[in-house]
Amino acid sequence: DGSAEAPAPRAKRARKAQLRFQDLPELKDIRTQQAVAELIGVGTPFFRVHDDRAGATTHIDGRTILNFASYNYLGLNGHPEVSAAAKAAIDRYGTSVSASRLVAGERPIHQELEGRIARFIGVEAAVCFVSGHATNVSAIGHLMRQGDLVLYDSLAHNSIVVGATLSGATRRLFPHNDLDALEEMLIAHAHGHARVLVVVEGLYSMDGDFPDLKRLVALRERFGFWLMVDEAHSLGVLGKTGRGIAEEAGVDPNEIDIWMGTLSKTLSGCGGYIAGSAALCDYLKFSAPGFVYSVGMPPPVAGAAIASLDVLEREPERVTKLRAIGQRFVEKAKAAGLDVGASAGFAISPVMVGDSLRAVHLANRLLERGVNALPIIHPAVPERSARLRFFFTSEHEPAHIDEAVAVTADEHAKLAEAGFGIKMAAA
Ligand code: PMP
């Protein structure tokens, strides 16, 4: 009964201060950065509100803007057939399944979607999670454990890093797309661990390039590891019919142990999938925390993804068109003297700027001139490789690309002339 001694008033006050969210040191850092940006007249490009659906164009503050900042790669979000499918799913099932699938949330539309994804990719089975990020966290975190080794590309998405961290396995990253370095790591470290997982992406969202899948498959054969490919950005983008990097590389999809992808890009929804063998998918369905202890995918999202696959299978010309648009951007940008880094000209291209503040400034200038492309700045990328990132959609027309390149080259040159380039402190 009150035997625990009350903390001294000063300690109590310090404790209270420590718990105030507005005093979190990390939040103060963010506020300082915002204040500096405000002071030198560089508004923040983040959390800008788009008035409605974003495709090749978007509406911001009532203005029509050329848009290069959406994952709507094949223009399927907002496609009448896709929206109709989402509405039909709501009419039949409601907006939620109101339970984990394991207990009372299983619906025919889940099985239909997973069957369609598996067939599209060319593997046995698939399992869907309600978030793409959670798919990587949950699957990697659950499959790997202490004593195992996870090797991933240095540009791997945060969800891969978080999953590997949570798993308790030893983690090592290899330099971006450097499979010689990966091979050396496998020689040096594979033997000392129980299981080894190698994670790469089908198309890297920062640089717009992709790995040599044939060589990865050969390394898998030689060293014996699970090969996992995150196709968030390559599904619907790579391969003649949009089936992803395996189709692009001419590799049997069954040579890859774990396919991962999202429904938030080409498939016009949100959520993610793991695809591969039936045993892998069963294991995750019965035991992965992010699946078992999470609600089943909302029916309208599943409906939209199925309809997106319908349109994609019926109209592979969307994939061809996206490719032509991406190639045009890369060619025109290079001709205009812009640096597109390693971009292969599929769906994504950076324009290298150099430092963070300059990238933010350039993005703001472009928006003033009717072009929306977002800056990627430190700490998302090293300070010296801050860039603008352009995402393309099959809805873009050649004239959109020409306009974007002309405006970007013009503003880029003006900034260089003005000597604009205040280095942001590398935090
Ligand atoms: N993997 C990669 C490679 C990604 O780029 C993203 C997010 N863009 C995710 C996973 C997470 O997917 P989601 O946004 O659908 O949660």
Mean of per-residue pLDDT scores for the chain: 94
Q: Is the pLDDT of residue 1 over 70?
A: no
Establish whether residue 232 lines the binding site of ligand 1, counting it when its CB lies within 6 angstroms of any ligand atom: yes
Q: What is the CATH classification number for the domain harbouring 195?
A: 3.40.640.10
Please give the distance, rounded to the nearest whole angstrom, from the Cα atom of residue 165 to the centre of ligand 1. 17
At position 257, the amino acid (one-letter code) is D
pTM to 2 decimal places: 0.94
Peptide bond into 398 cis (omega under 30): no
The reply to whether 128 and 52 lie within a common domain is no
Establish whether residue 133 lines the binding site of ligand 1, counting it when its CB lies within 6 angstroms of any ligand atom: yes
Please indicate, yes or no, if residue 6 is contained in any of the structural domains: no
Of 324, 379, 390, the C-alpha closest to 352 is 390
Alpha helix stretches (DSSP H) within 168-253? 179-189, 213-223, 245-249
Using the 8-state DSSP alphabet, how is residue 264 labeled? S
Helices and strands in the chain: count of H runs, count of E runs: 15, 13
Establish whether residue 159 lines the binding site of ligand 1, counting it when its CB lies within 6 angstroms of any ligand atom: yes
Long-range contacts made by residues 168-177, C-beta under 8 angstroms, separation at least 24? 168/144, 169/144, 169/145, 169/193, 169/197, 176/204, 176/207, 177/153, 177/204, 177/209, 177/211, 177/212, 177/342
Q: Tens digit of pLDDT for each residue in 351-371?
A: 999 988 899 999 999 999 999
pLDDT of residue 422: 47
- Of 108-117, 181-190, 218-227, 356-365, give the lowest mean pLDDT range: 356-365
**Mean pLDDT, range 224-250, rounded to an integer:** 98
At which of 285, 314, 343 does a domain end? 314
Q: Of the residues 258, 264, 297, 301, which should be mutated to test ligand 1's pocket, given the most ligand atoms within 8 Å of the CB?
A: 264
Q: Tens digit of pLDDT for each residue in 2-16?
A: 556 666 889 998 888
Please indicate, yes or no, if residue 306 is contained in any of the structural domains: yes
pLDDT of residue 43: 74
Most confident of 14-18, 255-259, 412-416: 255-259
pLDDT of residue 4: 61
pLDDT of residue 5: 64
Please indicate, yes or no, if residue 145 is contained in any of the structural domains: yes
Q: Tens digit of pLDDT for each residue in 41-94?
A: 777 788 899 999 999 999 999 999 999 999 999 999 999 999 999 999 999 999
Please indicate, yes or no, if residue 301 is contained in any of the structural domains: yes
Q: Which atom of ligand 1 is nearest to the CA of 205?
A: 5
Place of tokens 């142990």: 257
The reply to whether 135 and 155 lie within a common domain is yes
- For residue 281 the two structure tokens come to 């998918």
The reply to whether 168 and 308 lie within a common domain is yes
Q: Is the pLDDT of residue 204 over 90?
A: yes
Q: Of the residues 161, 207, 262, 266, which should be mutated to test ligand 1's pocket, given the most ligand atoms within 8 Å of the CB?
A: 262
At which of 276, 298, 314 does a domain end? 314
The reply to whether 88 and 59 lie within a common domain is no
The reply to whether 92 and 202 lie within a common domain is yes
Cα–Cα distance between 13 and 321 in angstroms, integer?
63
Using the 8-state DSSP alphabet, how is residue 386 labeled? E
Q: Which atom of ligand 1 is nearest to the CA of 201?
A: 3
Residues spanned by the domain of 53: 37-67+317-417
The reply to whether 321 and 308 lie within a common domain is no
Establish whether residue 70 lines the binding site of ligand 1, counting it when its CB lies within 6 angstroms of any ligand atom: no
φ, ψ (nearest 5 deg) of residue 375: -80, 145
**Mean pLDDT, range 275-282, rounded to an integer:** 98
Cα–Cα distance between 288 and 295 in angstroms, integer?
13
Cα–Cα distance between 115 and 353 in angstroms, integer?
43
The reply to whether 116 and 178 lie within a common domain is yes
Q: What is the CATH classification number for the domain harbouring 378?
A: 3.90.1150.10
The reply to whether 112 and 183 lie within a common domain is yes
Q: Report the chain's terminal Cα–Cα distance, integer Å.
A: 48
The more confidently predicted of residues 80 and 34 is 80
Please indicate, yes or no, if residue 8 is contained in any of the structural domains: no
Establish whether residue 270 lines the binding site of ligand 1, counting it when its CB lies within 6 angstroms of any ligand atom: yes
* pLDDT above 90 coverage of the chain, percent: 85
Please indicate, yes or no, if residue 427 is contained in any of the structural domains: no
Establish whether residue 264 lines the binding site of ligand 1, counting it when its CB lies within 6 angstroms of any ligand atom: yes
The reply to whether 232 and 103 lie within a common domain is yes
- For residue 16 the two structure tokens come to 């209270």
Give the residues across from 149 on adjacent strands. 170, 196
Which of the four pLDDT bands, split at 50, 70 and 90, describes residue 272? very high
Measured by CA distance, the residue closest to atom 16 of ligand 1 is: 132
- Give the DSSP H/E element, type plus range, for residue 350: strand 348-354
Q: Of the residues 133, 154, 237, which should be mutated to test ligand 1's pocket, given the most ligand atoms within 8 Å of the CB?
A: 133
Q: Tens digit of pLDDT for each residue in 93-132?
A: 999 999 999 999 999 999 999 999 999 999 999 999 999 9
Measured by CA distance, the residue closest to atom 8 of ligand 1 is: 232
Q: Is the pLDDT of residue 421 over 60?
A: no
Please indicate, yes or no, if residue 7 is contained in any of the structural domains: no
- Of 7-11, 267-271, 325-329, 331-335, give the lowest mean pLDDT range: 7-11
Please give the distance, rounded to the nearest whole angstrom, from the Cα atom of residue 236 to the centre of ligand 1. 15
Please indicate, yes or no, if residue 425 is contained in any of the structural domains: no
389 burial type by CB count under 10 A (0-12 exposed, 13-18 middle, 19+ buried)? buried
What's the structural domain count of the chain?
A: 2
The reply to whether 42 and 101 lie within a common domain is no
Q: Which atom of ligand 1 is nearest to the CA of 263?
A: 15
Please give the distance, rounded to the nearest whole angstrom, from the Cα atom of residue 346 to the centre of ligand 1. 17
Establish whether residue 205 lines the binding site of ligand 1, counting it when its CB lies within 6 angstroms of any ligand atom: yes
Please give the distance, rounded to the nearest whole angstrom, from the Cα atom of residue 329 to the centre of ligand 1. 24
Establish whether residue 157 lines the binding site of ligand 1, counting it when its CB lies within 6 angstroms of any ligand atom: yes
The reply to whether 260 and 329 lie within a common domain is no
Cα–Cα distance between 231 and 263 in angstroms, integer?
10
pLDDT of residue 3: 54
Cα–Cα distance between 174 and 154 in angstroms, integer?
6
The reply to whether 252 and 339 lie within a common domain is no
At which of 288, 314, 340 does a domain end? 314
**Burial track 67-81 (b if 16+ CB lie within 10 A, e otherwise):** bbbbbbbbbbbebee
| ∠ Cα 304 143 230 (to 5°) | 45
Measured by CA distance, the residue closest to atom 15 of ligand 1 is: 132
ipTM over 0.90: yes
Please give the distance, rounded to the nearest whole angstrom, from the Cα atom of residue 219 to the centre of ligand 1. 26
φ, ψ (nearest 5 deg) of residue 8: -60, 150
Q: Which atom of ligand 1 is nearest to the CA of 136?
A: 10
